Structure 1
Amino acid sequence: MDGASSSTDDCEAKATMMKKDSDCAKKQAHQDDIFDQLGSFGCFQHRVLPLFCLCNTFAALQYMAITFMEYTPAHRCILPTYSNNTGSSQPQHVFRYGTVNESDIHITLSRTNSERNPCNDVSNMSDVSRERDARCNSWVYDKTLFKETYPTEFNLVCDDASKVTMTTLMFLIGAAAGNVWIGFLSDRVGRQIALGIALLLECAAGMSAAFAPSPTAAMVFRFFLGACSSGSYTTSFAFGMEVIGSKKRMLVGIIMHFSFAFGSCLISGIAYAFRHWRHIQIAISAPLFLMAVYTWFIPESLRWLLSKGYKKEAARVALRIAKENGCHIESTDALFREPEPVSVRKRTRDIPKELCQTPRLLLCMVILSVNWAILESTWYGIGLNTGNLGGSIFLNFFLLSLMEFPAVCVVFTINRFGRKVPFVSSMVLCGIFCLSVIFVELYMGVDDPSSNWIRVALSVGAKLFISVAYNIVYIWGAELYPTVMRTVGMAISIMVAKIGTLLAPVIVRELNYSGYFKDKSTLPLVIFGGMSVLGGLSSLLLQETANKPLRQTITEMHKKCTSLPVKDTCDVKLNGEFGSHTEKQTLSEGYSDGDNAKTTANLL
């Protein structure tokens, strides 16, 4: 009896989810038909799409500018009695405070270069046998690359170096919070108002951060800047997808991803042009005010208005879009007449309880979430590690950012090659590129110019493959979770991934590399490489989802966690608009390439 009851419950749950999916599919298809009549990619879309792309570009600028604004150059204790304390005039070794003659500048201390600490001075230079370290509280910095950076202006080095990392963490924590509260605001008051508010606050927070009088104030402003930039990115992406017809949605999704990659490349040129952290912050924040003003000339999302039942406002917006696209519609009443919904008996599920009772789904969630955290940490950490590489930080970061473009194009191939093989291969290859710096460390000197270019080339290769995996995981993750908990599961995985992002600046800046490697850039790459290999191998336990039907219920995780065909058939009666019929659903049935391509486009 228990087995029969369980089977009946499973079939009822499947019937419920199939009916709900049928309603959602009908509503989505109906809204796509509306845009086909209004113009799916006409003059209106051409006018508003640049704003959404600019939102993505400026979000990338805010994220990536940290690498340059928080760059810590070479530094040493200042010489109070020496007349010229600018960077190039200072000796390369540590001096004591007191009277320093011109001849003292070239004095050679008994310590080796590796033992000298830029945080200490020598308290007794006259007697080498009695010299001892003493902490200094003022420094001189190498101004070759930047006139002023955030650490140099506030002397955030030595004992205060952790404040730089804390500022980065505040920005990233704000970014995680912004996804929630701006997203909530977008669903409550509309896309247009939420995007305008997010851009206006992002401009205010960015300009305030540019004029921050202290590190504490900078941390506060950076928190709000992270929240608003992240919120404007997610809202503009959703807004952009909602104003486009179904036929062009994949193309627009790729364009918006490219706009983020373009921002990553552009920040190198902006930092190269200004060379002062406050000027860089102003340059990437001031234009946001004009973008916020422009949002008031864009109508509200037609799909959002229909979802909230605001049909009068939706009719006004529809007529405006049709006029701008050169389309003629006689009546909006017929345009907004929705198909009759399927009657569904609501059934509530205790998802957390069932999750604990389904170890396979729980294992899937853990593996996916850990891999997502590794992806976030490695992807962001490789970019931050650019400041530790030798050579031009501007050119190095530009080369890394260029890898985003080919990585996005790989999305077009995953319907043919699947999700698992490209993802695992990309993760493992990223790890191999990162771990290869060990051989550079062992067989080439730190001062060898060619060794630096090899490190840069390995970092570029690692960034390419981690970006490929990053683009795949969003699609694969959404397909791995059953429909009843897809939104909850994705939210949990993304929140865990944000923890990985927080680890990146700690790994790059706070770990002491001197006891392990000679070059500062080696240890972070080794850690990222090891995590990538382990994450990629662990993802072999996940199921391939390409060209297969999406699972509907949690119970299906009990019966199918491998790629082996397992049939489970239920007779489900659907009372749709075409009459009553019986449909047999077989879990081992596959989707066609065309259907799966539509799924990929919707996820993008």
Structure 2
Amino acid sequence: MDIVQMRCRLFQTTQRKRTTADMADFGEILMSVGEFGLFQKLLLIALCFPNCFQSFFLASLLFIESDPERHCNTDWILRADPNLTTDEQLNLTLPREEDGTFSRCQMFVPVDWDIGAIREYGLNETTGCNNGWVYGKTLYEATIVTDFDLVCDKADLVEVVQAVMMAGVIIGSLVFGPFAESFGRKRATQIPVVVVLIFAMTTALCPNVYFYLVSQLFVGIGGGGYRVNCVILATEWIGVSKRSFGVCVTLLLGAVGQCVLAGVIYLIRDWRLAQLTIACAYAVIVIYIWFIPESARWLLNRGRTEEAKQLMVKAAAINKRTVPDSLLEEVSVKDNVNKEGIKTIFRSSLLIRYFFIVLLAWFSLNVTFYSLYLGMGNFGFSIFLIQLMYGAIEIPAILLNMWLLEVFGRRILFIFTALSGGLCSVLTLAVSQGYPIALTALAVGARFFLIWSCSICGIFVQELFPTSVRQTATAFGNMSARAGGLVAPLLSILATYHWAIPTTVFSSLTLVSGFLGFLLPETRRKELPESTNEAEGNRNVTTARKESVPYLKSTEL
């Protein structure tokens, strides 16, 4: 009896240790809930659907003619003779350039003479286009350039608009990343959608370029905030074997949106209608986005165990699975919520290394990505065709990524795709502008590898850092990516010194990032780390925890 009592006490002690030191974590329970069941699929589709319209944000920036055929509006002379032909009106009111063409930015100063005096003496004093411009036949019905007269002395505002949009995305990532750590993934996903809806509508109705700049800034803030949060919310519900699907499906629907954008702009050709299209789509999204669930992993990390349990039971029911009550009772509770934020990363030299390698990679890849994207009108082909090709080439890249990530892992694919993208980019320097097919092929090939590599960065940043700072790290990663997009239009200015400088710079950065990938660990099929120690160890947390507790078998009693 004494031996039996001793063994019973030993069993009870072991069970107490299990419930205090090694309670069931989210990865274990997710195995019972279902790693990628109907619940996760519905959540993923709902969260990724808005990414179909992310590319529409850039529609008013890309589908423009920066230097359209035009001349100053000189209808003032029709008061002197309303029967003047167009050729006579232009000959009398516009100076000519050295090549004999009419000036695009200058006109003769209006006078109160009669038409006979104007014909006899002519006009000599010039001024800027005081009454706006008359535009010739353009590829589009209306663009921000023609509506806001972003020509001549206002032409630089086109680059400013691009920079403001990217700055908004950076601000959105900076604001809503840490916001999600404190207030939850759900709220940090819902609020940006509302912001996008409101300012997409105001963008379409802007009376001048200054209101347009403000509206685009807030559209960028909402878009950046949503993009950084929707992926995290989806992947924190997905098991280790299918986690890469979260990032890949997000990019896949974005690629579909790129293809759709080419068709929409080809048919509409009016930037205001394109913005209203975004607003209509987001009006639908705002309705259902309020019903998405919170991340149970985040709830556990914040110590809100009961709410997490309820969500896990609902998720299991949708997946037609059952979570044992005994397992739910062992759900681990985080007694000490990490409030240090990004400081957690900087307390570990290993995490610092991972952090800056991923940030540099995301920056470099996006500098190259956007430099090629913003310059796609210079390849000699139809901009609609190139836009369609850019979107279409992303689809096989992402589908291959979804498969090969689980076969070869993250590290080797990141190195291969980053180096291949940088190589394709630098090879464009060896091709003459007289070979548009070769240039387009290299640019499309570079985009193929760059989008592939960017998706791996998105997976790396989630799998390398603990739950308490995962959202903040992802936000900084997205900020780095958008900073690359912000630098891309500014980098093109260096072409005034030598045409090869921009391509050399962004290609070199991408190649360097690819080589730095050798310093990253492999994270394939590893449970998401919950603490700094787990992140530094880069181990399978679930397996390690199970092996750490000496369970007693019933036969030992």
Please state which band the TM-score falls in when normalised by the shorter chain: 0.7 to 0.9
Are the equivalent residues in 2 in contact too, given 1:423–1:536 (CA < 8 A)? no
Deviations 1:236-261 (Å, cap 9, x if unpaired)?
11111123233332334322221122
Are the equivalent residues in 1 in contact too, given 2:465–2:473 (CA < 8 A)? yes
Question: Where does residue 502 of structure 2 map in the other structure?
Answer: 527
Instruction: Please list every run of 5 or more consecutive structure 1 residues that lacks an aligned counterpart in the other structure.
Output: 1-22, 85-97, 445-450, 517-522, 558-574, 580-604
Shift of 1:264: 2.1
Question: Where does residue 212 of structure 1 map in the other structure?
Answer: 206
Instruction: Please list every run of 5 or more consecutive structure 2 residues that lacks an aligned counterpart in the other structure.
Output: 1-18, 111-117, 537-546, 552-557
Q: How far, CA to CA, are the matches of 2:485 and 2:119 in structure 1?
A: 49
Question: Where does residue 77 of structure 1 map in the other structure?
Answer: 71
- Provide the secondary structure at the position in 1 that maps to 2:134: strand
Structure 2 residue 450 is the aligned partner of structure 1 residue 466: yes
Deviations 1:29-81 (Å, cap 9, x if unpaired)?
7323323323333333333322112122223332x424445553523223524
Question: Where does residue 184 of structure 1 map in the other structure?
Answer: 178
Task: Choose which of 111, 114, 119 in structure 1 pairs with 2:105.
Answer: 119
Which residue type is aligned with residue 294 of structure 2? Answer: E
Distance 1:371 1:436, change over 3 A: farther
Between the aligned residues of both structures, percent identity stands at 26
Question: Where does residue 394 of structure 2 map in the other structure?
Answer: 404
Q: How far, CA to CA, are the matches of 1:220 and 1:431 in structure 2?
A: 34
Shift of 1:275: 1.2
Distance 1:233 1:481, change over 3 A: closer
Are the equivalent residues in 2 in contact too, given 1:375–1:466 (CA < 8 A)? yes
Q: How far, CA to CA, are the matches of 2:421 and 2:490 in structure 1?
A: 21
Question: Where does residue 45 of structure 1 map in the other structure?
Answer: 40
Alignment of 1:223-372 (within 5 A): 223-329=217-323, 331=325, 334-338=327-331, 369-372=359-362
Q: How far, CA to CA, are the matches of 1:382 and 1:434 in structure 2?
A: 10
Question: Where does residue 412 of structure 2 map in the other structure?
Answer: 418
- Provide the secondary structure at the position in 1 that maps to 2:243: helix
- Provide the secondary structure at the position in 2 that maps to 1:285: helix
Structure 2 residue 32 is the aligned partner of structure 1 residue 33: no
Question: Where does residue 381 of structure 1 map in the other structure?
Answer: 371
- Provide the secondary structure at the position in 1 that maps to 2:316: helix
- Provide the secondary structure at the position in 2 that maps to 1:140: strand
Which residue type is aligned with residue 531 of structure 1? Answer: F
Question: Where does residue 102 of structure 1 map in the other structure?
Answer: 87
Shift of 1:396: 1.2
Question: Where does residue 10 of structure 2 map in the other structure?
Answer: none
- Provide the secondary structure at the position in 2 that maps to 1:376: helix
Alignment of 1:54-93 (within 5 A): 54-62=49-57, 64-68=58-62, 71-72=65-66, 74-81=68-75
Task: Choose which of 518, 532, 536 in structure 1 pairs with 2:511.
Answer: 536
Q: What is the TM-score with the length of structure 1 in the denominator?
A: 0.68
Which residue type is aligned with residue 102 of structure 1? Answer: D
Distance 1:341 1:215, change over 3 A: closer
Are the equivalent residues in 2 in contact too, given 1:73–1:141 (CA < 8 A)? no
Which residue type is aligned with residue 149 of structure 1? Answer: T
Distance 1:159 1:300, change over 3 A: same
Task: Choose which of 484, 493, 501 in structure 2 pairs with 1:500.
Answer: 484
Which residue type is aligned with residue 402 of structure 1? Answer: A
Task: Choose which of 441, 462, 469 in structure 2 pairs with 1:457.
Answer: 441
Q: What is the TM-score with the length of structure 2 in the denominator?
A: 0.73
Are the equivalent residues in 2 in contact too, given 1:423–1:472 (CA < 8 A)? no
Are the equivalent residues in 1 in contact too, given 2:192–2:223 (CA < 8 A)? yes
Structure 2 residue 133 is the aligned partner of structure 1 residue 139: yes
- Provide the secondary structure at the position in 2 that maps to 1:286: helix
Shift of 1:207: 0.9
Distance 1:298 1:388, change over 3 A: same
Q: How far, CA to CA, are the matches of 1:154 and 1:324 in structure 2?
A: 52
Q: How far, CA to CA, are the matches of 1:146 and 1:349 in structure 2?
A: 46
Tell me how large the CA RMSD over aligned residues is.
4.8
- Provide the secondary structure at the position in 2 that maps to 1:326: coil
Question: Where does residue 90 of structure 1 map in the other structure?
Answer: none
Are the equivalent residues in 2 in contact too, given 1:171–1:222 (CA < 8 A)? yes
Are the equivalent residues in 2 in contact too, given 1:66–1:168 (CA < 8 A)? no
Are the equivalent residues in 2 in contact too, given 1:196–1:295 (CA < 8 A)? yes
Instruction: Give the count of matched residue pairs.
Output: 496
Question: Which range is displaced more, 499-508 or 218-227?
Answer: 499-508
Which residue type is aligned with residue 289 of structure 1? Answer: A
Are the equivalent residues in 2 in contact too, given 1:433–1:461 (CA < 8 A)? no
Are the equivalent residues in 1 in contact too, given 2:200–2:219 (CA < 8 A)? yes
Shift of 1:324: 2.6
